[in-house]
Structure 1
Amino acid sequence: MELVMRRRSRSDLIFDLINYACLTIGVLLILYPLYFVLIASISDPNAIYAGEVYILPKHLTFDGYSRILQDKLIWSGYANSILYAVVGTAISVSITLMAAYPLSRKDLYGKTFITWFLLFTTFFNGGLIPTYLLIKSLGMVNTMWALVLPGAAGVFNIIIVRTFIQNTIPDEMREAAAMDGCSDTTFFVRIVLPLSKPVIAVMVLFHTVGFWNSFFDALIYLNSDKLWPLQLVLRNILVQNQVDAKVLVDVDSYLAKMRVTELIKYGVIIISSGPLLVLYPFLQRYFVKGVLIGSIKG
């Protein structure tokens, strides 16, 4: 018996070691690119081109960050991204919750038809040109609303929240509240919302990440660079090497401008990743619970 237990323990140890090794490799594969961008943003571009930057920065320099602080377009894009993410997330989460709660009720008339109607929109849409014409006819081109309103309600998110409410808040609780004179609105505000904090945190994270990383809608609908989000500014720097000329006014040669542009690229990537890295730890404890209950149960 002791021999069997000893063999089982040894096999368990080997299994754990393999798991930890695989997880460690996975973590390194995920974290190293971000770490490389961080050390590249404070390294001499010549050392990066020469392949000398692996673990530690070479020829430490903060020239890229100092020039980022001088670029008004980057900081206006940063402010715009924060504004779009906050406003868009507030609108999207509100619409998602108000759509999901009625669908979670068994007494909603036409519930099946409404659900299938919503699902139909996930398979078919008007396409880019009709959507642009619609946005233009509504007068939303070159405004913030072209970015936050068209995709405010996601069917996938509505289904997740609906399933969460169905499996977390029993009908008996609503019936007991109704017997005490509680209206549907009061029940939704005072009972459903407080008990739905995990899935609300998931929705906040989903929508915030979506708005923060989005640049295509801004590329299509925004004409003024003063309204550009940070990701569109970053796209122009990465793809087209477009940096504000005022930032490079003291750089003479073309090669020197290219080196400084490389530093700015890496620096802007780090700066643009900061808010999401700060936000996630506060929502992480709700994230797993909300996703599992909202998407697997039921």
Structure 2
Amino acid sequence: MKKNIIIQVIAILFSFSTFVYSAGISSPCGTMYLGNLKIGQSYSLQQSLGYPFNVTYSGRSMADMKITVVVPSTTTSDGFEPIPSDTWIKVVKDQFSLEPGQVAETDVIITIPNDEALMGRKFLVKISPASGAPKAGGPGLAFGVGLMCRLQLEIGAKPPTPEEIRQIKKQQLGGTVSVLVSPERIFLVDVPVGRKVNLKKEYQEALKIVNSTDFKLKTNIKSVDVIKSGMFAPTDYKVAEDPNWLKIGKESISLKKNSIIDIPLYLEIPESQKGEKLYFVIITEATSEIRNVKYYTKVYVDVAK
């Protein structure tokens, strides 16, 4: 008679990238950044980034998932200190029961204490979704899996003005996304080599930035070196040797309040890359008087043979 052996294993995968995965679960929220946060104020991660914290479960049968807040033990090389208390962070819904292929979505509320000693400092907290072993029985081993997602918080150097507090409250009560950069992912198939490809004309793809705030927005857009940025390519893709194969039509631009703009994108892939599956990452840093946020757009390119 075969014994049903179930071993609970939490496999922690740490990554600097915007997408993390471990056997059974994955998330596009590998690294999240919010800057110019004001002391004494609360922020919705979903409203700030334009999408919820989400995790996809791809196990073979139903499993429970719990999302916890983890305080790091050390300061990072780029100066992010461990968050002083996990009470700064509230995961709105932290427990799920998921079927294979189901996505868990939740908001995360960040509350910055009203303490001037925090101004100008940078903090890091980790949000860890972890699944238990699948509920269905059977011979062999069953594993629980987990991820570590980084949330970087940079506190503004000055206390909030009355107008800034009004705008923050307006966003909270209205439930609106103040700045949105889309899409999160771009998939391109049969991309020709040896010539400049206009993604808008040939694939109907461009980067769209929406500024629904009452403040002017400055943006800086780059196709980054994936490896040097501490990221990695997803399964079946390789990091593009040169991030400049993906060109941004306008790298620096200012948006007026309540405005929308499309940023053209171009690809120029050398003939040596025929048949390859290439991975690029675009980082858009959006800065205004009330918020600094980094948005990540992943570009998946299947090069023509």
Q: How would you bin the TM-score normalised by the shorter chain?
A: under 0.3
TM-score computed with the length of structure 1 as normaliser: 0.23
Structure exhibiting the larger radius of gyration computed from Cα positions = 1
| Structure in which a larger fraction of residues adopt strand | 2
Q: Tell me which of the two structures has the higher relative contact order, counting C-alpha pairs closer than 8 angstroms and 6 or more residues apart.
A: 1
| Structure in which a larger fraction of residues adopt helix | 1
TM-score computed with the length of structure 2 as normaliser: 0.23
